[in-house]
Amino acid sequence: MSTLFIVATPIGNLEDLSPRAAETLRSVDRILAEDTRRTRILAGRAGANAPLVSLHGHNEAERVERVLGWLRDGETLALVSDAGTPLVSDPGGRIVEAVAQAGHEVIPVPGPSAVLAALVGSGLPGDRFVFLGFPERKGPGRVLLLERVASSRETVVLFESPERLARLLEDLAASCGGTRRVAVARELTKLHEEWFRGTLSEAVAYYVQHPPRGEVSLVVGPAEESVRDATDLEAEARALAGDLLGGGGKPSEVARELVRRLALPRNTAYRIAHETPEPDP
């Protein structure tokens, strides 16, 4: 059976391309690349002459059978993303799953990762962490993510676009509290690499005044041990909301009271206030 190599590539500094990664790119028959224009530069630096095949979020599903066909014909392939470790907030998951199920070898060639670089440089606990990728811009998915970060006992790593960073920090401060520790890494490994380490409130104030440019990774410290279990807190909030609604309170009033009494994030309080049915008279 043939082999698909999953090759990590530099996230900014081309010197971070490992000798093993370069040798792998030189040895394969084809390179599956998220952006062939960017990968062509890297391939040239590595001395790789294999044909480049585009594989991105819009064509991944239709590429599966072609990739399997190349492997059945005995070809060896490499999968790379634009930067860092493939499949981490990047396409390729369908390909790897199909290749593995077909019985071919899948071999990772580890290397640069923005997630790990941000985590270890943040100054926050790195023994237990969770990566949640890019937050949804709005809707229930965003609310649930903010709630998850607020109650997380692990350090949380997120990606965000620079133009939406300030808003995300504001939402996190409202959900987690302004004193929660955070680190923001900008342009990791590049010439203008920059770090901010402080509290969420301090980060909001800084980035409102200094809009960032370039790629951003965000690391949020874990909730304090004194924070109540999220499930218990929600049950308490629903019970209180039922009492207040039964007393004639409007959902908007009940939500404000949940925020005041239980220090709930506003989004959570409004959700609970509108989902909780009024008690039977």
Secondary structure class of 256 (helix, strand, coil): helix
- Amino acid present at 211: P
Same domain, 125 and 205: yes
Same domain, 13 and 89: yes
Domain termination site, one of 59, 84, 112:
112
Upper half-sphere CA count for residue 177 (Cβ side, 13 Å): 15
Among the listed ranges 87-91, 97-101, 242-246, which one has the minimum average pLDDT value?
242-246
Give the mean model confidence (pLDDT) for residues 120-147. 94
Same domain, 146 and 236: no
Same domain, 31 and 80: yes
Q: What is the CATH number of the domain that holds 10?
A: 3.40.1010.10
Q: What is the CATH number of the domain that holds 121?
A: 3.30.950.10
Same domain, 197 and 269: no
Specify the pTM: 0.77
- Tell me: pLDDT of 121 over 60: yes
The answer to whether residue 199 is domain-embedded is: yes
The answer to whether residue 280 is domain-embedded is: no
Give the mean model confidence (pLDDT) for residues 246-263. 85
The answer to whether residue 281 is domain-embedded is: no
The answer to whether residue 135 is domain-embedded is: yes
- Tell me: pLDDT of 247 over 90: no
Secondary structure class of 36 (helix, strand, coil): helix
Q: Count how many domains the chain has.
A: 3
Q: Please report the pLDDT score of residue 71 as a whole number.
A: 98
| 30 and 70 Cβ atoms separated by less than 8 Å | yes
Nearest to 206 by CA among 217, 195, 193, 214: 195
**pLDDT band of 28, cuts 50, 70, 90:** very high
The answer to whether residue 40 is domain-embedded is: yes
- Tell me: pLDDT of 138 over 60: yes
Same domain, 77 and 129: no
Residue 74 in tokens = 């005995």
Same domain, 16 and 106: yes
Which helix (H) or strand (E) is 231 found in, with range? helix 230-246
Q: Please report the pLDDT score of residue 230 as a whole number.
A: 60
Same domain, 194 and 131: yes
Same domain, 202 and 247: no
Same domain, 144 and 206: yes
Beta strands in 168-247 (DSSP E): 181-186, 194-199, 216-220
Same domain, 8 and 73: yes
Secondary structure class of 184 (helix, strand, coil): strand
Upper half-sphere CA count for residue 36 (Cβ side, 13 Å): 10
- For the chain, the average pLDDT equals 92
**pLDDT band of 231, cuts 50, 70, 90:** low
Q: Please report the pLDDT score of residue 226 as a whole number.
A: 47
The answer to whether residue 225 is domain-embedded is: no
* Residues 224, 225, 228, 230, CA torsion sign: positive
Q: Please report the pLDDT score of residue 85 as a whole number.
A: 96
The answer to whether residue 162 is domain-embedded is: yes
Domain termination site, one of 82, 112, 142:
112
Q: How far apart are CA 165 and CA 203, in angstroms?
A: 10
pLDDT in tens, 176-217: 999 999 999 999 999 999 999 999 999 999 999 999 999 999
Same domain, 108 and 173: no
Among the listed ranges 55-59, 96-100, 217-221, which one has the minimum average pLDDT value?
55-59
pLDDT in tens, 35-87: 999 999 999 999 999 999 999 999 999 999 999 999 999 999 999 999 999 99
Domain termination site, one of 112, 140, 166:
112
Which residues constitute the domain of residue 174? 115-220
